[in-house]
């Protein structure tokens, strides 16, 4: 009976903990993050002459930026710019 309680507790607790982390990660995004994310995309677009030569990870990051979820997008876009020796825009 104890093993069943532990298993049940784990099955109930895991989604609750995951939901808490999911909501707090979005709560940290600020208007500054959104603006910076769009500045990164613009810098990448300028480098490409108006086009965005991107792979899957960068395409997902751009979509996240456009959808208002800059948190996971910013590190990917920053790395793309660094890989191309493009100076990162200032983060204000």
Full pLDDT tens readout for the chain, 92 residues: 555 444 443 444 344 434 434 444 455 678 899 999 999 999 999 988 877 767 899 999 999 999 999 999 999 999 999 999 999 999 87
Is the residue at 70 inside a domain? yes
Domain extent for 45: 2-83
Query: What is the pLDDT, as a whole number, of residue 74?
Result: 97
Is the residue at 92 inside a domain? no
70: CB partners within 8 A, 6+ apart:
29, 33, 34, 36, 37, 64
Is the residue at 88 inside a domain? no
Taking the CA atoms of the chain, what radius of gyration do you get in angstroms?
Answer: 19
pTM for this entry? 0.66
Is the residue at 75 inside a domain? yes
Q: Per residue in 51-81, is it b (16+ CB within 10 Å) or e — as a string?
A: eeebeeebeebbebbeeebbbebbebbbebb
Is the residue at 90 inside a domain? no
The total number of structural domains in the chain stands at 1
Is the residue at 54 inside a domain? yes
Query: What is the pLDDT, as a whole number, of residue 55?
Result: 87
Q: What angle do CA 16, 71, 62 make, to 5 degrees?
A: 125
């Amino acid at each position: 009976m104890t093993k069943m309680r532990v298993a049940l507790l784990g099955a109930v607790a895991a989604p609750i903990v995951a939901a808490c982390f999911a909501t707090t990660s979005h709560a940290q995004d600020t208007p500054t993050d959104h603006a910076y994310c769009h500045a990164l995309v613009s810098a990448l677009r300028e480098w490409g002459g108006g086009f965005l030569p991107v792979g899957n990870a960068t395409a997902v990051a751009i979509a996240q930026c456009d959808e208002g979820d800059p948190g996971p997008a910013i590190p990917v876009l920053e790395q793309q710019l660094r890989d191309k020796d493009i100076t990162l825009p200032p983060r204000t």
